[in-house]
Structures are given as structure tokens and as C-alpha cells.
Chains A and B, each alone.
Chain A
Amino acid sequence: MPRRAGIGLRGIGHAVINGVWRLGYASRFFGLTLFRSGTTFRRFGLAIREIYFSGVLSLIIILVSGLFVGMVLGFQGFHTLERYGSEEALGVLVALSLVRELGPVVAGLLFASRAGSAMTAEIGLMKATEQISALEMMAVDPIARVIAPRFWAGVISMPLLAALFSAMGVFGGYLVGVVLIGVDEGAFWSQMQSAVDFREDIINGVIKSIVFGIAVTWIALFEGYDAPPTAEGVSGATTRTVVTSSLAILALDFVLTALMFRGN
């Protein structure tokens, strides 16, 4: 029994040491990515190309999801507000829910599954097929040429996608609330306009989405770069990207919400 406990403890110790080591390696990777971002800004075309792959190609899933989330909010919000005779506040409820929380968080989760997993798989496969080694041997820094443009593309795309998600969600809420159920259109828009604060709500939502963009892209790129160069290794790394990014988004959302909306 003591022997089994010893093995268990050793396993925990090994997992902790491994986790700390990976965190250190990931932090160093993050630092190197920032430090070697000069090429990305000198040749911004590299980042534009990646914005297309991670941002533009994510538009469909973001817009459709935003529309449905907004429509569901329209129904649920109306159902709740109706009890208190405040149906006119539906616009406020839909808009605040989206710009403060659902926009950045759901767009972040979708971005992690659509673009993050693709980035991990691409980098992992580049490593497995020796394309990363080929870059090194051609005296081209893979961090500067491959990683940094993708990182900045993710950081730029994420807030734009979150904003589009929120805009589409508001439109979905309008469709259900105003067009379908018949809430007063003037009240829907005017109450939204007066209650949504640019600094407190919209800017804070944008800050959240930028932080999520940094976290998701960093995790996705690190997992790809660190993936064992095998089919199993790349598949495991892709799964880890989605799981870790999703958990990171939810945890960061809690921390940021606590910091930003305290006392409001």
C-alpha cells in the first residue's frame, strides 16, 4: 500500500513538474513571438494572408451563430421581461448580454474550435513534414516567418469577429423581438442606445475579445509547435488546443469580468 501511494505521489510530482516545464516553455515561446514580430509589421502581407485564413474563413460560423444566439436571446428575454411588463427593455437586454459577455466569449470559443484547431494542425503538420526544419536550414526564422504573422492575425481577427457576432446577435434579437413578437421598434432601439455605454460596455467587451484572441492564438500556435511530429501527436495537440483554449477563455472571462464590472 505505501508503495502504491509512493507511485501515485511520484506520478503527481511528475505531472506537476511537466506542467511547470511546459508553461515555462510556452512563456518563452510567447516572448520570442513578440520579440520577433518585426518581420510581420515590415511585411504586413504575411499577416493579411493569415487574417484571411483565421478571420475571413471563420465569418460564416461566427455570423450564423451570432444570429441564432441573438434570436434565442430575443425569445428568452421577452419571456422574462414580459412578466415585469418591461418588454421594451428587450433591446437593452440583448445588446448588453452580447457586448459584455456572449459576443467575446462565444466568438472566442468558436474561434478556438474553427481557427485555433486549424492553426495547431497546420503548424504540427509543418513540423511533422520537416517544413519547419527546412525553414531553419534556409536561414529563415520559423518564429518570425510562420508563427508571428499567425499570432498577430489571430489577435486582430478575434475582436473583429466578436464585434460581428454581437452585431449579428442584436439583429437576431431584433428579428425575433420586433419583427416576430411585435415589441415596439422605437423602444427597442432607443433604450438600447441610451443604456449601452461605449466605455463601460463596448470597450470592455473589445478588451475581453483581444485578451481571448491573444490566449487562443498563443495556445494554438504553441501546441502546434510543440506537437510530437506524428499523426497521433498532431491529433492530440489539436484536441488540447480546443480544450485548453476554451477553459482559458472561461477562466479569463471570470477574471476580466471581476476586474471590469465590479460594483456596476
Chain B
Amino acid sequence: MTDDILVEFDDVSFTYDRRPVLKGINMKIPRGKVVSIMGISGSGKTTMLRLIGGQLNPTSGQVKVAGQVVHELDSEGLYKLRRKMGMLFQFGALFTDLSAFENVAFQMREQTDLPEAVIKDLVLMKLNAVGLRGAYHLMPAELSGGMARRIALARAIALDPMLMMYDEPFAGLDPISLGVIGTLMRRLNDALGATSIVVTHDVQESLKMVDYVYYLSEGVIVAQGTAEEMKHSTQPLVHQFVWGEEDGPVAFHYPMAEYPQDLGLEPARA
């Protein structure tokens, strides 16, 4: 059974600058699935990805990837593990001094001794998979937001990772690009036999393509279930989030003084 679990959070807490970001997270992500971590901005979603990638260490508890405790690995072990991971960053994080082709080829050149002809074929295959083989020569500054995200996706899958992580993959995209990215993520996951973790607050798009959802609020998993279960959840927090309601458990207003008091219409209460 444990072999079926690729990523596991075991009572993980993380504190940043004395502020608790994650509090006792327990989560299991099975192989081959697309799992989404949802929650409002600042709820600790991206921190979870950074813990999986070993860019941060937990304050307590442990994060396991393929049975290895990430924060116990030395730098060589960590880099070895990262070679099996791919990550799509929020705005692509393409290397701005390299063309689309060179961006996708980057990890192949750095991590393998493949001959140039093989690298060329592989890069074109990856670019073809995201529909941008014809844009191989363009520089990042010449790409639209959606195209840049697709090139970044091709770069992330360059070495056929076992684990794909997506950090807000839908942020700032037009509806067409958004649909294309969502479909590609699901298709690539299934074609590569990989496992995907999608951190997002784009509910409608992600619920179309994920197998399971964890809902995070203030560093705690407050709900979990399949996409359908989340859609029909009666839990006020999840309901407000899924249906984008203005007010609810997450208040519209930031904590503040009384309005008339701020406007100077009545004296401050003692």
C-alpha cells in the first residue's frame, strides 16, 4: 500500500519568522493521480510545494517523496530526487536570455550526456506535446502569457518526471489558454504515468481535471474529497471558496475599527 503513495506529509508543521504557516498537516498523494491543494492566498499552499521539493525544511514532522524523507537527504541525494521532479512556476520562470528551444533543452544539457541530435529531437517532441513546436526559436519576451506557460510546461516535463508540481498554473491566463493548460496537465500526467500536485485557487478549472482535492485554510487541511464532493460540500468555508461568495467564514473586510470611528464621526471608545 505504501508503494502506492508517492508523496506523504506526516504531521508536518512549518513556521516562518515565528509565524505558523502549516500546522500538523497529514496528507497522502497516491501515484498516478492529479491532486489539487486549494485555499485562499497565504494559506500555505506554495509552502507545501517547497517542502516537497526540499527548498524548505519542516519545523516538525516529515515529508516523504518516494519513501525518502526529503529534509534528511544530503545535497547530492536531494538533487538526485529533484531530477525526478518537474515544477511549473506561477509565471513560468523561463530563462529570459534563452530561446524557447534552449529553455526546454536546458535540463537535458545540464543533467545528461545526450548527443545534440537526440536533444534536438526530444526538445521538438516536448514542444510538440504543448503545441508550440513552431515557436521553438522565439525568446520569452516574444511569447504571450499562455505560450510562456506552455513552454515552461514543456521544460518541466523535459526529463519525464515522476512527480509534477504546478504552482498556480492558471494565474493570469485568458480563458482559452486556461483551458489548454488544464487539458495539457491532465493529458501529460496520464501519458507520462506521473503524479501531479496542483496548487491553485482557480476552482472551476482545476475541479474539471483533478482526482482529489485538499482544502487548506490558515495552515490546516479543513476539507478533502473528490472534485464532486467539493462542489457539493456544505462546509461553509469550502462552499464560499468553490462558489466565490463575497462574504462568509472568510470575511470581506480585514479586521478594523468601527467605520464611523475611522471617519472621525464619533470619538474612539475607551
Contact = CB atoms under 8 A, between A and B. Distances in A.
Interface in B80-130: 80, 82-83, 85-87, 89-91, 93-96, 106-107, 110-111
Contact of B89 (A130, A139, A141): A130
Nearest to A140: B110
B93 A129 contact: yes
A145 interface: yes
Contacts of A129: 91, 93, 96
Nearest to A49: B97
Contacts of A145: 110
A139 B111 contact: yes
Contacts of A141: 79
A7 interface: no
A137 B110 contact: no
Contacts of B82: 136-139
Nearest to B49: A137
Contact of B93 (A133, A139, A140): A133
B107 A131 contact: no
Nearest to A138: B107
Contacts of B86: 137
B4 to A, nearest CB: 25
A12 B240 CA distance: 48
Question: Chain B, interface size: which category?
Answer: 20 to 34
A27 to B, nearest CB: 20
Contacts of B110: 138, 140, 145
A137 B91 contact: no
A134 B83 contact: no
Contacts, number: 44
A138 B106 contact: yes
B142 to A, nearest CB: 16
B55 interface: yes
Contact of A133 (B85, B89, B95, B107): B89
A131 B80 contact: no
B85 A137 contact: yes
Contact of B90 (A130, A131, A140): A130
Interface residues of A, number: 12
A131 B96 contact: yes
B42 to A, nearest CB: 16
B53 interface: yes
Nearest to A129: B93
Contacts of B106: 138, 140
Nearest to A136: B55
B87 to A, nearest CB: 4
A88 to B, nearest CB: 52
Contacts of B79: 139, 141
A137 B55 contact: yes
A125 to B, nearest CB: 8
Contacts of B107: 138-140
Q: Which of A130, A137, A140 has the most CB of B within 10 A?
A: A137
A183 B114 CA distance: 65
Contacts of A131: 93-96
Interface string A118-139: 0000000000011101101111
A137 to B, nearest CB: 4
A150 B93 CA distance: 20
A191 to B, nearest CB: 49
B166 to A, nearest CB: 12
Interface in A1-53: none
Nearest to B86: A137
A137 B55 CA distance: 8
A229 B185 CA distance: 28
Interface of A: 129-131, 133-134, 136-141, 145
Interface of B: 53, 55, 79-80, 82-83, 85-87, 89-91, 93-96, 106-107, 110-111
27 contacts: A129-B91, A129-B93, A129-B96, A130-B89, A130-B91, A131-B93, A131-B94, A131-B96, A133-B89, A134-B89, A137-B53, A137-B55, A137-B82, A137-B85, A138-B82, A138-B107, A138-B110, A138-B111, A139-B80, A139-B82, A139-B83, A139-B107, A140-B106, A140-B107, A140-B111, A141-B79, A145-B110
> Which 8 A-B pairs give the minimum distances between C-beta atoms?
A130-B93, A139-B82, A139-B79, A134-B93, A137-B87, A130-B89, A139-B83, A138-B107
Given A137-B53, A138-B111, A139-B83, 14 more contacts: A129-B93, A131-B93, A131-B96, A133-B55, A134-B87, A134-B93, A136-B53, A137-B82, A137-B85, A137-B87, A139-B107, A139-B111, A141-B79, A145-B110
